[in-house]
Structure 1
Amino acid sequence: MTTVLLLAALDTKGADAAFIQTRIREHGLNVTLVDTGVLGQPSLTATISRDQVAAAGGTTIADLVSAQDRGQAVAIMAKGAAIEVERLIREDGAVGVFGIGGGAGTSVAAAAMRNLPLGIPKVVLSTVASGDTSAYVGTSDIVMFPSIVDVAGVNRISAITYTRAADAFAGMVNGQKIEPTSAPTRPLIAASMFGVTTPAILHAQQLLENAGYEVVVFHATGVGGRAMESLIRQGLVDAVLDLTTTEVTDDIVGGILSAGPERLTAAAEAGVPQVVSVGATDMANFGPLDTVPPQHRERNLYQHNSENTLMRINPDEARQVGVSIAVRLNHATAPAIILLPSLGVSVMDAAGKGFDDPVARRALEDALAETLENPLVQIKKLNIHINDHSFAELAVTDLIGLLSSSTSTEMP
């Protein structure tokens, strides 16, 4: 039988877990029950005990109980659950993971699923599924299913949500047995886009698709960049058209759309060919106007809408962004090309527009060129704007050239 994993704290969620376990089994699936509880006695016998989970996390249940530190207990059980889930998938062939809980249970279950490969069914039935779930989901494909009522026993309301969540999960698992209508055969290109670089990316996407490539576009809003980096690390991407690196600016200046220090590192480390540019690096992103940090209130600001305020970075910040991009690409293990459009890097950064600043553009370009030391990375300065069709055409030509060289190098 196909095996799936069910994660629950069996001291407080035993009845709930038993109901869901029975429903999943009715779909012809074998359920391995993993106990993530700590304090009370489990009301249901687990396949993987809480002691095993705690041991995988580096301690014992007795030590967690004596410490009386809820935060530490959640962190340890989350770590142990992640290790056990990965082991059960690798060694026992489990093909899906279902978790239940309130805040703590959701945190443990999500941590156990978050780093699993794309496509493995992952469902968390949770009391917090209707709020901001970004901390739980991250860049994964976890499905958060609202419990509606607290996960505190089976009643006429919870029985409905439990049943439907279990049915949805079983459908995801059993659906894996059906072969796709057509398997993807085209090389996959990951591309980054922001509203102010849309013309460049859409034109490049059309050109690449016409040339026989499949293009997946990521919105450079922090989570988009992290998702792109994650898929590159999973080996799902053949090449990267990273024309919109605005998340690096937010990382440097303190904007709200940073993708963190890992941005621009996956392709470099994995040896994936890439064409990179500095799209939308002219701006840092903040929330509503009244949330802009006080030290920036007198800067060149543009209220994009009621929820988003853009700030034009100055030459000193631009230099820092240029250095940061170069430092990240100095680790590239495959050929890469950096395209620098000297007439502007966004819709806002163009002749006569509010963020037009040739001095800041030049500062970024010079700092990048001075810091770059990797002989595998080539810089091309182009006397055009990033959203000109000719820019996209040059970027596509360069990327296809890198892919062709990479393919010919791999030939015996």
Structure 2
Amino acid sequence: MLTLPVAASLHAAAYVAGTFDTKGRELMFVKQCLERRGLRVVTVDLSTSGRPSSASIHPREVARHHPQGEPAVFSKDRGTAVTAMAQAFERFVLTRRDLGGLVGAGGSGGTSLVTQGMRALPVGLPKVMVSTMASGDTRGWVGPSDICMMYSVTDVSGLNRISERVLANAAHALAGMMAHAASLPASASKPAIGLTMFGVTTPCVQALTRMLADDYDCLVFHATGVGGQSMEKLAGSGLLQGVIDVSTTEVADEIVGGVLSAGPTRMDVFARHALPYVGSCGALDMVNFGSWDSVPERFRARRLHRHNASVTLMRTTADECRAIGEFIARKLDAMQGPVRFLIPDGGVSQIDRPGQPFHDPEADRVLFAAIEANFRAGPDRQLRRLPLHINDEAFAQALASAWHEVAAPRQRARGASA
């Protein structure tokens, strides 16, 4: 078989991970497929049964990476053991300097184990997961990462005419990604920044990207929960120079109980990394649900708006806005880098204008007051209120100007080191 020219050109290895006590035959088949393509392969056993292992990396070696060591992993309770092994594997992969790609195969347990490690790896590093769980909602396993999920069709239990084809395809996909890394586009010569957009803040973000596109590679993220998580994943991986977080709407879903929450850790990455941050209140007037019939009974008497057949919006109340504002202020106060937060007094979304269904000046006033009252100001931490609507061209210009303020020292430092 013709092999890809990777063995001589790549120092990195393909890692094959899974529970070798139950999936050893299948995982070894993947290993053999990769070796036939010219790759060096490292096998990693994530079993918690204590049985002998045929893998390059023994389960106990992985388990030592758990914060509490091996005893935390090899406990009598299987559920606890698997959870602990996943935590150990997440830390383990970050120590491997030769890891050039990662492939796994398994059922629900194996998928949870392997993908927790995959999610810890940088975006762009090849990751392929063959799973019995891949034909459905994979958000819990993929999250904000670029994991390629492949449905196993048959169970990952033995080798047959179907499983061999699927596992071989997964191995060859990983080999191809490792051998043929995408060349960087022309936009990669410009620093990348993240921007968050929702349908009702689209005019603002589109105007903003036009203003910045000559100097920045503008990466726009749809603020649907996983969108905010993806932006912050890239920020934490060092792939963004900073963000203009126009649409913090995911916070409203987290506080009130909508379907597009990015979780309680939204914005926490900026407390760990001193990146420039410019933010605003985009679409904090709404909480998201699915179709009209999917709205929980406790919300049926609220102010609802049918956005389309699949999306129903609910207006946030003054009390909810107060909680949302306090949440955002706490996150802003914890940020380590320069901060500018701009408040649009004229409304926070396309449907928060006079005559529009979510226009509620009192709820907005409570939101803005909560942010302002709890915000910790400083020389490079500023809150600004503007007599503008979020989709006004002048508000986009103010966001662009704020970005240039916080990014300027970073750009000067880059220029001095060049």
TM-score normalised by length of structure 2: 0.90
Measured against aligned partners, the alpha-carbon deviations of 1:337-395 in whole angstroms (never above 9, x if no partner) come to: 22111111111101100000111111111121111123132222222211112211221
| Aligned partners of 1:286 and 1:292 also within 8 Å | yes
Q: Corresponding residue for 1:80?
A: 88
Q: 1:347 aligns with which of 345, 350, 363?
A: 350
Q: Corresponding residue for 1:392?
A: 396
Q: Corresponding residue for 2:205?
A: 201
Mapped to 2, the partners of 1:222 and 1:255 lie a distance apart of 10
Measured against aligned partners, the alpha-carbon deviations of 1:199-250 in whole angstroms (never above 9, x if no partner) come to: 110111111103x211001111111111111211222211211111111111
> Secondary structure at 1:275's aligned position in 2?
strand
Mapped to 2, the partners of 1:230 and 1:77 lie a distance apart of 22
Q: Which moved more, 1:286-295 or 1:132-141?
A: 286-295
The 5 Å alignment of 1:55-70 reads 55-57=64-66, 58-59=69-70, 63-64=74-75, 67=76, 69-70=77-78
| Aligned partners of 1:329 and 1:374 also within 8 Å | no
Corresponding letter in the other structure for 2:144:
T
Corresponding letter in the other structure for 1:38:
T
Q: Corresponding residue for 1:119?
A: 124
Mapped to 2, the partners of 1:191 and 1:299 lie a distance apart of 31
Measured against aligned partners, the alpha-carbon deviations of 1:73-120 in whole angstroms (never above 9, x if no partner) come to: 321322233333333x23xx1211111111111111111211111121
* Gap change, CA 1:316 and 1:60, over 3 Å in 2: closer
| Aligned partners of 1:38 and 1:61 also within 8 Å | no
Mapped to 2, the partners of 1:193 and 1:183 lie a distance apart of 20
Q: Corresponding residue for 2:325?
A: 322
Mapped to 2, the partners of 1:327 and 1:398 lie a distance apart of 21
* Gap change, CA 1:201 and 1:356, over 3 Å in 2: same
* Gap change, CA 1:114 and 1:295, over 3 Å in 2: same
Q: Corresponding residue for 1:23?
A: 33
Q: Which moved more, 1:21-30 or 1:263-272?
A: 263-272
Q: 1:173 aligns with which of 175, 178, 197?
A: 178
| Aligned partners of 1:127 and 1:150 also within 8 Å | yes
| Aligned partners of 1:273 and 1:335 also within 8 Å | yes
Mapped to 2, the partners of 1:183 and 1:360 lie a distance apart of 41
Mapped to 2, the partners of 1:271 and 1:39 lie a distance apart of 42
Mapped to 1, the partners of 2:363 and 2:290 lie a distance apart of 23
1:157 aligns with 2:168: no
Q: Corresponding residue for 1:307?
A: 310
* Gap change, CA 1:59 and 1:271, over 3 Å in 2: closer
Q: 2:242 aligns with which of 239, 242, 249?
A: 239
How far off its partner does 1:63 sit?
A: 4.6
Q: Which moved more, 1:253-262 or 1:145-154?
A: 253-262
Mapped to 1, the partners of 2:306 and 2:65 lie a distance apart of 49
TM-score normalised by length of structure 1: 0.92
How far off its partner does 1:8 sit?
A: 2.4
* Gap change, CA 1:334 and 1:81, over 3 Å in 2: closer
How far off its partner does 1:306 sit?
A: 2.9
Q: Which moved more, 1:30-39 or 1:98-107?
A: 30-39
Q: Corresponding residue for 2:146?
A: 141
Mapped to 1, the partners of 2:104 and 2:128 lie a distance apart of 6
| Aligned partners of 1:338 and 1:380 also within 8 Å | yes
Q: Corresponding residue for 2:23?
A: 13
Identity %: 40
Q: How many residues are paired up?
A: 403
Mapped to 2, the partners of 1:127 and 1:319 lie a distance apart of 44
Q: What's the RMSD between the two structures over aligned residues?
A: 2.2
The 5 Å alignment of 1:13-52 reads 13-39=23-49, 41=51, 45-52=54-61
> Secondary structure at 1:123's aligned position in 2?
strand
> Secondary structure at 2:120's aligned position in 1?
coil
Gaps (5+ residues) in structure 1? none
Corresponding letter in the other structure for 1:13:
K
1:101 aligns with 2:106: yes
1:130 aligns with 2:138: no
Q: Corresponding residue for 1:217?
A: 220
> Secondary structure at 2:288's aligned position in 1?
strand
